[in-house]
A and B are shown apart, each in its own frame.
Chain A
Amino acid sequence: MAAATEGHYHDRVVTVLVVFAMVWALVGLAAGVYVAAELVWPGLDLGQPWLSFGRLRTFHTNMVIFGFGVPALIATAFYSVQRTSHVPLFMPGLAWFVCIAWQVAILLGGASLLAGMTTSKEYAELEWPFDIAIAVVWVSFAIVFFGTIAMRKVKQIYVSNWFYGALIIVVAMLHIVNNLAIPVTPTKSYSLYAGAQDALVQWWYGHNAVGFLLTGGFLGMLYYFLPKQADRPIWSYRLSIIAFWAFTYSYIWAGPHHLHYNAVPEWVQSLGVVMSLILLAPSWATMINGIMTVSGAWEKLRTDPALKFIVLALAFYGLATFEGPMMSIRSVNLVSHFTDWTIGHVHSGALGWNALITFGTFYFLVPRLVGAELYSRKLANLHFWLALAGIMLYLLAMWAAGVSQGLLWLSLDELGELRFSFTDIMASMAPYYMLRLLAGVIFLAGAVLMAVNLFFTIAGRATIRVRPPLAAEPASG
Chain B
Amino acid sequence: MTTTGFSPLLIARLLTKPSAVFQQLADSRPPAAEVFFKLAIWLGLLPPVFAYLGASRFGWNLGAIEPLFLPSPVLAGISFAYFLTLLFGFVTTALVSQWMATTYGARHSLGIHFAMITVVGAPLAVGSVIHLYPHVFLNVVVLVPALIWSMFLLYRGLPIVLRINPQRGMLMASALIAYLLVAAVSLLGLTVMLWGLGIGPRVGI
**Chain A residues in contact with chain B, CB under 8 A?**
287, 291-292, 294-295, 298-302, 308, 311-312, 314-316, 318-319, 322-323, 326-327, 329, 331-332, 334-336, 341, 388-389, 392-393, 396-397, 399-400, 403-404, 406-408, 410-412, 416, 418-420, 424-425, 428-429, 431-432, 435
Contacts of A412 in B (CB 8 A): 202-204
- How long is the Cα–Cα vector from A295 to B176 in the complex, in angstroms? 13
Q: Does B107 sit within 8 A of A, measured CB to CB? A: no
* Number of A-B pairs, beta carbon distance below 8 Å: 136
- Residues of B in contact (CB 8 Å), total 43
Q: Does B186 sit within 8 A of A, measured CB to CB? A: yes
Contacts of A300 in B (CB 8 A): 167
- How long is the Cα–Cα vector from A334 to B192 in the complex, in angstroms? 9
Q: Given A407-B201, A410-B205, A424-B64, A301 and B171 touching (CB < 8 A)?
A: yes
- How long is the Cα–Cα vector from A318 to B180 in the complex, in angstroms? 11
Q: Does B41 sit within 8 A of A, measured CB to CB? A: no
State which of B143, B174, B192 has its C-beta within 8 Å of the C-beta of A406. B192
Binary CB contact string for chain B from 167 to 199 against chain A (1 if under 8 A, 0 otherwise): 110110011011001100110110111011000
**Chain B residues in contact with chain A, CB under 8 A?**
62-66, 68, 103-104, 136-137, 139-141, 143-144, 147-148, 151, 165, 167-168, 170-171, 174-175, 177-178, 181-182, 185-186, 188-189, 191-193, 195-196, 201-205
What's the least CB distance linking A402 to chain B, in Å?
9
Residues A318 and B192 in contact, CB atoms below 8 Å apart: no
Residues A431 and B205 in contact, CB atoms below 8 Å apart: no
State which of A312, A334, A336, A341 has its C-beta within 8 Å of the C-beta of B174. A312
Residues B193 and A428 in contact, CB atoms below 8 Å apart: no
**CB-CB nearest in chain B for A341:** B188
Closest 9 CB pairs of A and B: A428-B63, A315-B178, A410-B203, A301-B167, A335-B192, A298-B167, A319-B181, A298-B168, A431-B137
Residues A318 and B178 in contact, CB atoms below 8 Å apart: yes
State which of A302, A319, A334 has its C-beta within 8 Å of the C-beta of B167. A302
- How long is the Cα–Cα vector from A411 to B67 in the complex, in angstroms? 12
Residues A315 and B137 in contact, CB atoms below 8 Å apart: no
Residues B171 and A299 in contact, CB atoms below 8 Å apart: no
**CB-CB nearest in chain B for A321:** B182
Contacts of B178 in A (CB 8 A): 287, 291, 314-316, 318-319
Residues A311 and B202 in contact, CB atoms below 8 Å apart: no
Q: Given A392-B147, A412-B204, A418-B204, A332 and B192 touching (CB < 8 A)?
A: yes
Contacts of A327 in B (CB 8 A): 189
Residues A408 and B205 in contact, CB atoms below 8 Å apart: no
Residues B148 and A411 in contact, CB atoms below 8 Å apart: no
Contacts of B196 in A (CB 8 A): 331, 334-335
- How long is the Cα–Cα vector from A308 to B144 in the complex, in angstroms? 23
- How long is the Cα–Cα vector from A298 to B169 in the complex, in angstroms? 9
Residues B204 and A428 in contact, CB atoms below 8 Å apart: no
Contacts of A334 in B (CB 8 A): 192, 196, 205
- How long is the Cα–Cα vector from A349 to B193 in the complex, in angstroms? 23
Q: Given A302-B167, A327-B189, A315 and B181 touching (CB < 8 A)?
A: yes
Q: List 25 A-B contacts (CB under 8 A).
A: A298-B167, A299-B167, A311-B171, A312-B174, A314-B174, A319-B178, A322-B186, A334-B196, A335-B192, A335-B195, A336-B192, A392-B148, A396-B144, A397-B140, A399-B188, A400-B136, A400-B137, A404-B62, A404-B136, A407-B62, A410-B195, A411-B204, A412-B202, A416-B204, A432-B137
Contacts of B140 in A (CB 8 A): 396-397, 400, 432, 435
- How long is the Cα–Cα vector from A134 to B136 in the complex, in angstroms? 45
What's the least CB distance linking A413 to chain B, in Å?
9
- How long is the Cα–Cα vector from A432 to B136 in the complex, in angstroms? 10
State which of B165, B174, B205 has its C-beta within 8 Å of the C-beta of A311. B174
Contacts of B64 in A (CB 8 A): 408, 419-420, 424-425, 428
What's the least CB distance linking A224 to chain B, in Å?
20
- How long is the Cα–Cα vector from A403 to B205 in the complex, in angstroms? 15
What's the least CB distance linking B58 to chain A, in Å?
16
- How long is the Cα–Cα vector from A389 to B149 in the complex, in angstroms? 11
